[in-house]
Amino acid sequence: MATLQLTSLGWRMKQRQPSFLVSSAWMAMFAVLPMALAAVALVGPEAKHIQPFVELAGTDNYMAYVTIGATAMIWATTVGGNIGGVLEGQRFEGTLGSIWSTPTSLLARVAGLGASGMSVGIARTFIAFGVAWAILRFPLSIDPLALIGVLAASTFAVGAFGLIWAGVILRARAGMILVQTLLMGMGILAGPAYPTTVLPDWAQVAGNFLPPTWMIRGLRATLIFSDTTAAWASVGALLGLGLVFGVCGMWLFARFDRDARQRGHLEAF
């Protein structure tokens, strides 16, 4: 029951902000369309210079290729920072201390707060992608089962990764800006607008340990290349990363939770 009540918390907070839908649509304008238009500029008028892109990316559907990568990073940053964002928001409103004083398990609190933030982040991503598609109208090939598998595994992996940073926010009070910066920085290694093969070897290796890399690969595999095998391989990689990050994140979060209680860091001041 406590988990379900916390799950609805994010939506109740957003209901106080009438600009939620508008700001979600604007994410397509600021985070997706600039990358897509940059791709248009690079391939030239009537895609005369598209051959180098095709040789690197394996497809001439450059609009979908870039839009999927950019939208996946919105998903990664909003879902990955969701628990930390809810924690910081509740601390600012002065309700974090009361939530943390309830006789519920740490797992129930984390699951409830995580689900509330994830629902908001996922909604923002779908709105941004829908706006981008309505403007650019690129073709897609959809395998519903593989798509759901990639999105579910990505949510698990990115959420588990974000749990580590949520522990940092719980300990450091105001750390959300740092967390968002780190999550956005992952986009360099994940290849949102380009194949990761253009990166140095060390960067490609490092990128394989980041959930957004596999999320982008899985989404492109199912939405562009119709490669079910590659899509499910990405699901496997995401589940493995999510398990590792989840165990490490829960341990770190529990440790910082005890520290925050001892130091009185659950309140805004």
Q: What mean pLDDT is predicted for residues 226-231?
A: 95
Please give the Cα distance from 214 to 209 (Å, whole number). Answer: 9
- Token pair for 19: 């600009």
Q: What mean pLDDT is predicted for residues 37-62?
A: 84
Q: Is there a contact between 265 and 170 (Cβ–Cβ < 8 Å)?
A: yes
pLDDT-derived band at 116, boundaries 50, 70, 90: low
Residues 16-47 pLDDT 10s: 555 656 666 677 777 788 888 888 887 877 77
Please give the Cα distance from 99 to 158 (Å, whole number). Answer: 24
Indicate if the pLDDT at residue 213 is higher than 90.
Answer: yes
Please give the Cα distance from 1 to 7 (Å, whole number). Answer: 10
pLDDT-derived band at 245, boundaries 50, 70, 90: very high
For residues 231, 73, 212 and 182, what is the CA-based torsion angle, rounded to 10 degrees? 180
- Residue 2 confidence (pLDDT): 47
Least trusted range by pLDDT, from 52-56, 115-119, 233-237: 115-119
Please give the Cα distance from 153 to 148 (Å, whole number). Answer: 8
